[in-house]
Amino acid sequence: MRFLDCNRMAGASLARSPGRTFMMLLATAIGVAAVLVLTSLGEAARRYVSAEFQSLGTHLVIVMPGRSETSGANPAMMVAETPRDLTLDDARAIMRSPHVQRLAPVVVGAASVQRGGLEREISILGTTAEFRPIRQWTMALGEFLPNVGMDRAAPVCVLGYTIREELFGTDPPLGQWVRVGDRRCRVSGVLAEQGTSIMIDVDEVVMIPVVDAQALFDSPGLFRIIIQATSRDAMPLAQRDAKRIIRERHYGEEDVTVITQDSVLATFDKIFGNLTRALAGIASVSLVVAGVLIMNVMLVAVSQRTSEVGLLKALGATRRQIIALFLTEALFLAALGGLVGLGLGYGAVAGLRAVYDTLDFVPPVWAAGGALIVAIACGAFFGILPARRAADLDPIAALTGR
Amino acid sequence: MIRLEDVCRNFDVGEEVVHALDHVSLEIPDGEYVSIMGPSGSGKSTLLNILGLLDTPSAGSYTLDGVNTSTMDDAELAQIRQQKIGFVFQSFHLVSRLSALENVELPMVLAGDEPAVRKERGHAALERVGLGHRDAHRPSQLSGGERQRVAIARAIVMQPKLLLADEPTGNLDSASGREVVKIMETLNSQGLTLLVVTHDPAIGERARRQLKFRDGLLAEDKERAA
């Protein structure tokens, strides 16, 4: 039998029962569309997190107090020991590494901020002038913290965009006094609107010099030291230097965790990549279900077409030809359903994008290709049983309709 | 040339074994016109199925043109059905969604012939049964007699040596039945071996050689009185 004739006959059989064909197409199409939509969700999450991390700044290395063990249980973990504080002296020492371009110590806490009769509890961020270029923030008004070195106190503060509105309304804030905790300071600047960055609403933060924050919270410990390496390649070197310097200063004990932006990004990339693949796997189950449906419907179709099969056998069709005919039908269904599903899926993703414009919904190409291939493979696999059943029909029984 | 030697065909029906054919030996030379008659269950249809290679004997041997068919596999049997045997059924078995010509083309589609060749030979076969003007008609647009003639055209389009007809007039009125029989007899006169299974003595007695079956046995094998 010629390839074209085989396709034509299979296509004609499908066209003859449009209702049945439509149902089978729909099942496969929904499966493929599900894969696209779910993977695009995973991919959107990955891109979102990636973008958030990139928005932190470039070439960042972050030093955190405390050692996070990643290599399993360790006897030292059993001895509850408070990690040694990370101090401004530590920060200054790290500054000596040639791979460090900038560095900003960070202290975080909450305090009340008050102006006139208005008061509210707010996140306070103690840092230095270097913090602004590291985070690539822009100012709406005035200046960031004064560039006076880490350990110089100054009675100034910088307001987040929303805070300024809440405390000052339309009044000009620059040079005005506000009370932060028990300290009075002058507003030196207001940040431009930043929005949320890794779950912190920067617009609702008040920044003061790091030593003032230490005094305010009565603690010498730093929350983080944010380092900007000289280049991308310098990030691991800066990381290594930071570890070495802290170890030397902390009597040989490496009681800090130093991460690079790259490694965090890579980790998130991996997590979300795996998540996306897991979603693809879950969605693929619907493709298998579609395959089972195709199988069942085709089994029914075979029993309804016994006399046709019997006739073909009497006219000289071999087992192989009968199998080829029915398998072709299954493959047609699967491939066509897959293509329709791609259309549906991309349509649904476009819909999602229109509704949630903050997330970048794009189904990964591998998911689209993979879903189509899995759909066709399912069609082939689940088409085998009906095709074999048709080929095994006894021609006499088939012809006499027994 | 058909040669059956001690052919048996047994069916298990519950506990019982039914001998549909019981040691039948038979020789049919090429070009013969044979009718096979007998009551229901006498084994005549089983014989036709075995001769058409749709069924295989439980015992005995079937030699077609000097080739023993009992050792053949599915593909070889299909090949012989395709090339040497044409079937005509009581209920026509035309594919309703295909036109007359497309129905006639079916065996050639399975054989893998070129579309142009198929059209030409299919049309020629329809002309031989007097339906050259009905190429594009669907079975539902044809009368019963015309449908059976399309089926005959389909059976002979591969130019087989053997035409097997199972109650070919069973679903037809007597006028169209006679016409169908005449067409088959014409084909026989052109050299085709013709075997007709029938209930109808009026048709069976037209054959040169008449076989009568009873309980799986070949009860009578006579030639028409000239």
Which value does ipTM take for this structure?
A: 0.90
Q: What's residue B28's pLDDT? A: 94
Q: Which residues contact A155 (CB under 8 A, 6 or more apart)?
A: A183, A184, A185, A186, A212
Helix spans in A61-186 (H): 75-78, 88-94, 131-135, 161-168
Q: What's residue A199's pLDDT? A: 58
Chain A residue whose CA is closest to B50: A396
- The tally of domains found in chain A comes to 2
Report d(CA B51, CA B148) in Å as an integer: 21
Across A108-112, A395-399, B162-166, least confident range: A395-399
Residue A190 lies in a domain: yes
pLDDT tens per residue, range A69-97: 554 444 554 444 556 788 899 999 999 99
Q: What's residue B51's pLDDT? A: 93
Q: With contacts defined as CB-CB under 8 Å, which chain B residues touch A305?
A: none
Report d(CA A9, CA A1) in Å as an integer: 11
Please state, as a whole number, how many other Cβ atoms lie within 10 Å of the Cβ of residue A186.
Answer: 14
Domain boundary (A254, A278, A306) is at: A254
Domain boundary (A197, A222, A254) is at: A254
Residue A62 lies in a domain: no
| Structural domain for A368, as ranges | 3-52+266-400
Interface test with B, best of A6, A307, A315 (most B CBs within 10 A): A315
Query: What percentage of chain A reaches a pLDDT higher than 90?
Result: 39
Identify whether residues A276 and A152 lie together within a single domain: no
Nearest chain B CA: its distance from A395 CA (Å): 6
Helix, strand, coil percent content, chain B, rounded in steps of 5: 35, 30, 35
Identify whether residues A122 and A157 lie together within a single domain: yes
Q: What's residue B211's pLDDT? A: 94
Residue A13 lies in a domain: yes
pLDDT at position A2 over 90? no
| C-alpha angle A302-A306-A308 in degrees, rounded to nearest 5 | 105
pLDDT at position A12 over 70? yes
Identify whether residues A231 and A152 lie together within a single domain: yes
Residue A129 lies in a domain: yes
Q: Note whether A336 and A329 are within 8 A (CB).
A: no
Identify whether residues A149 and A170 lie together within a single domain: yes
Instruction: Kindly state the average pLDDT of the residues A121-125.
Output: 91
Identify whether residues A100 and A221 lie together within a single domain: yes
Interface test with A, best of B13, B40, B48, B54 (most A CBs within 10 A): B54
Q: Which residues contact A96 (CB under 8 A, 6 or more apart)?
A: A245
Q: Which of A307, A319, A321 sits opposite B110 (nearest CB)?
A: A321
Identify whether residues A356 and A319 lie together within a single domain: yes
Identify whether residues A109 and A133 lie together within a single domain: yes
Tokens 């912190």 identify what position? A200
Identify whether residues A277 and A210 lie together within a single domain: no
Q: What's residue A83's pLDDT? A: 65
Chain A residue whose CA is closest to B89: A399
Query: What percentage of chain B reaches a pLDDT higher than 90?
Result: 73
Q: Which residues contact A125 (CB under 8 A, 6 or more apart)?
A: A106, A107, A108, A205, A206, A207, A208, A213
Q: Which residue has the higher pLDDT, A157 or A58?
A: A157
Q: What's residue A197's pLDDT? A: 65
Identify whether residues A8 and A155 lie together within a single domain: no
pLDDT at position A194 over 90? no
Q: With contacts defined as CB-CB under 8 Å, which chain A residues touch B83?
A: 316
Report d(CA A191, CA A165) in Å as an integer: 12
pLDDT at position A276 over 80? yes
pLDDT band at A57 (very low <50, low <70, confident <90, very high): confident
User: Does residue B49 sit at the A interface (CB-CB below 8 Å)?
Assistant: yes
Q: Do B81 and A314 touch (CB under 8 A)?
A: yes
Nearest chain B CA: its distance from A392 CA (Å): 11
Q: What's residue A72's pLDDT? A: 47
List the one residue out of A235, A223, A259, A268 whose CA is nearest residue A131.
A223
Q: Do B89 and A399 touch (CB under 8 A)?
A: yes
pLDDT tens per residue, range A210-256: 999 999 998 888 988 999 999 888 999 999 999 999 988 888 888 88
Identify whether residues A132 and A199 lie together within a single domain: yes
Instruction: Kindly state the average pLDDT of the residues A384-389.
Output: 93
Residue A67 lies in a domain: no
Identify whether residues A7 and A115 lie together within a single domain: no
Residue A75 lies in a domain: no
Residue A320 lies in a domain: yes
Residue A68 lies in a domain: no
Domain boundary (A234, A254, A274) is at: A254
Identify whether residues A282 and A250 lie together within a single domain: no
Claim: this prediction has a pTM higher than 0.90 = no
Q: Which residue has the higher pLDDT, A60 or A200?
A: A60
Q: Do A316 and B107 touch (CB under 8 A)?
A: yes
* A:282-311 residues touching chain B, CB 8 A cutoff: 307-308, 310-311
